[in-house]
Amino acid sequence: MSEFDAIFVGAGHNSLACAAHLALKGWKTAVFERSATIGGAVQTHEYTVPGFRHDFGAMNLSLFAGSAFHRKYANELKTHGLEFAPVADCFASAFPDGRWFGVSNDLETTASRLAAFSAADAATWRRLVAGFMPEAEHLFRLLGSPMSGRALAGNAWNLWRKKGFSGALDTGRLLLSSPRAWLEETFESPHVRTTLAAWGMHLDFAPDIAGGAVFPYLESMANQAFGMVLGKGGADTMIRALSGMVTAAGGKIATGAEVAEITVAGGRATGVRLAFGDFHIASRAVIAGVAPKALPGKLLPDGSGDAGFDAAMKKFRHAPGTMMIHLALDDLPDWRAGAELRQFAYVHLSPSLDAMSRTYQQAMAGMLPDEPVLVVGQPTAVDPSRAPDGKHILWVQVRMLPAEILGDAAGKIAPDRWDEVKQAYAERVLDIIESYAPGLRQKILGRAVFSPLDLERENPNLVGGDQVCGSHHLAQNFLFRPARGYAGWNTPVANLHLTGAATWPGAGTGAASGFMLAQQLGGR
């Protein structure tokens, strides 16, 4: 038995950021991780062929590079090995008609591509870029602030003071709009609308879901203004740097150490019991970086003592699932639409807003989509160090998919468990990529396929393959993430706090929930 000021359940990047800040404030911290590897969904491994390093989940580290945590601790992170690989050609979409559109961080380049589709859209793009920084101030301030009455009031006052009543309403309307509503009123080219709408599908915002417009807006404008960054050598550069900060400050990180129970006495969290029997005391805080459903009846065997909270945790809604396909390649894909696509970090494949909506509905109905949305990552186009000389990798995210298969929208795969059908479905995905990049299969040196249930096995927070750890729809976001009354990383159990993508401000690599909680507990 040992005693710590703070004990963390799970070693995702939010837990590590929180542990690092508290350790540097003099807290005695311990992080217990069930897996052999820390990092949660941010890991990099040689899944296919030795020498080819694939990101398990997150690939894009732009949110971390621009985060408040990185601004405060950039020197310490660099000391512990954090390296970024900057991206100039950020994202693109290829289309069945042989055309493509992509966003690079050079305005004239992007505007020229836009003008080939619509002169009006090119002008609109320039106008949006010109107004982005003033608008981003308010959006980033909201996303980087606690969901407290004081912070919300301050944000609202700042918004009204700088934009006036009408301008504040415009910002509010953007936050409430669906991707389709914003895109159709802003751009006239279907190709441009579809390219930007793909960012909503990175979360769980199909084109017609309210609250999703802000993600295509922010991603497109931020990529245009700042570019993108990947982790040099793999996304795990972030995790190695964070863990280095924790241990250098005296913190402890234990892997293969599953927490079986959070101990509670007198309505207060007192520590944890590990699966192999050891007890550890936490004098000031237990911080759980877990999916909400893991609390009542599991980590808290007798519940939290608040029936409403326990019910809300059990009813926490997860987004549709994801399949990950990792490919080791002889060469990058030969994109039929143009060789320039080979230099983009991401190439999205989905023909239209309607196709995205259909895919989402099929997945929600338990059907294997006939044409899933594909996010084809080409990290070695940016960072060749991830593969042997002259070789490449592809990072293919397949969205959206059901956790439980009830049927196949294409009528070709019999309903069965994911373990039985994942390779057949991976072939469907490769067929789609081949239709845009003929000859891909001949370049494959090795592949690894992770079904939605494989993802959950690797990381229990990815329930049903939900890589964003919970729907971000309006009813489960902002003041309602993860539930009404608990958006401040609090629980009914004193000294027990939550962190991670299931809490405000949600998914992504920005470490915002962990850092804001750390500041709340230990000061700035």
Per-residue pLDDT tens digits for 326-358: 999 999 999 999 999 999 999 999 999 999 999
What CATH number is given to the structural domain containing 281?
A: 3.50.50.60
Return the pLDDT at 2: 81
What is the chain's alpha carbon radius of gyration, rounded to the nearest angstrom? 22
Burial 218-251 (b: 16+ CB within 10 A, else e): bbbbbbbebbbbbbbbbbbbbbbbbbbbbbebeb
CA distance 329 to 443: 5
Let me know if 503 is exposed, middle or buried by CB neighbors in 10 A (0-12, 13-18, 19+). buried
Q: Quick one: 244 and 212 in the same domain?
A: no
Q: Quick one: 117 and 202 in the same domain?
A: yes
Q: Quick one: 205 and 255 in the same domain?
A: no
Q: What residue ranges of the chain have pLDDT lower than 70? A: none
Which DSSP letter does residue 439 get? T
Q: Quick one: 262 and 210 in the same domain?
A: no
Residue 118 included in any domain: yes
Q: Quick one: 211 and 118 in the same domain?
A: yes
How far is the CA of 50 from the CAs of 74, 328, 359, 414, 447, in angstroms?
A: 32, 10, 35, 34, 12
CA distance 262 to 106: 51
Residue 307 included in any domain: yes
Q: Quick one: 202 and 264 in the same domain?
A: no
Q: Quick one: 221 and 239 in the same domain?
A: no
Residue 452 included in any domain: no
Let me know if 405 is exposed, middle or buried by CB neighbors in 10 A (0-12, 13-18, 19+). buried
Let me know if 43 is exposed, middle or buried by CB neighbors in 10 A (0-12, 13-18, 19+). buried
User: Beta strand 407-408 with 367-368: parallel, antiparallel or unpaired?
Assistant: parallel
Residue 437 included in any domain: no
Residue 518 included in any domain: yes
**What backbone phi and psi angles, to 5 degrees, belong to 302?**
-100, 10
Would you say 59 and 232 are in contact if contact means Cβ atoms under 8 Å apart? no
Count structural domains, the chain: 2
Q: Quick one: 196 and 124 in the same domain?
A: yes
Full domain range(s) for residue 184: 106-225
Helix (H, G, I), strand (E, B) or coil at 185: helix
Return the pLDDT at 481: 98
Q: Quick one: 214 and 239 in the same domain?
A: no
Query: Of how many residues is the chain composed?
Result: 524
Domain-ending residue, one of 164, 198, 225: 225
Which DSSP letter does residue 391 get? -
**Virtual torsion, Cα 47, 48, 51, 52, nearest 10 deg:** -80
Domain-ending residue, one of 157, 190, 225: 225
Q: Quick one: 192 and 273 in the same domain?
A: no
Residue 391 included in any domain: no
Q: Quick one: 204 and 305 in the same domain?
A: no
Tokens representing residue 63 in the block: 């949110």
CA distance 280 to 44: 30
Domain-ending residue, one of 194, 225, 256: 225
Return the pLDDT at 102: 98
Residue 387 included in any domain: no
CA 505-508-511 angle, 5° bins = 70
Residue 382 included in any domain: no
Neighbouring-strand partners of residue 231: 84
Select from 501, 472, 474, 507 the least CA-distant residue to 489: 501
Return the pLDDT at 410: 98
Q: Quick one: 74 and 124 in the same domain?
A: no
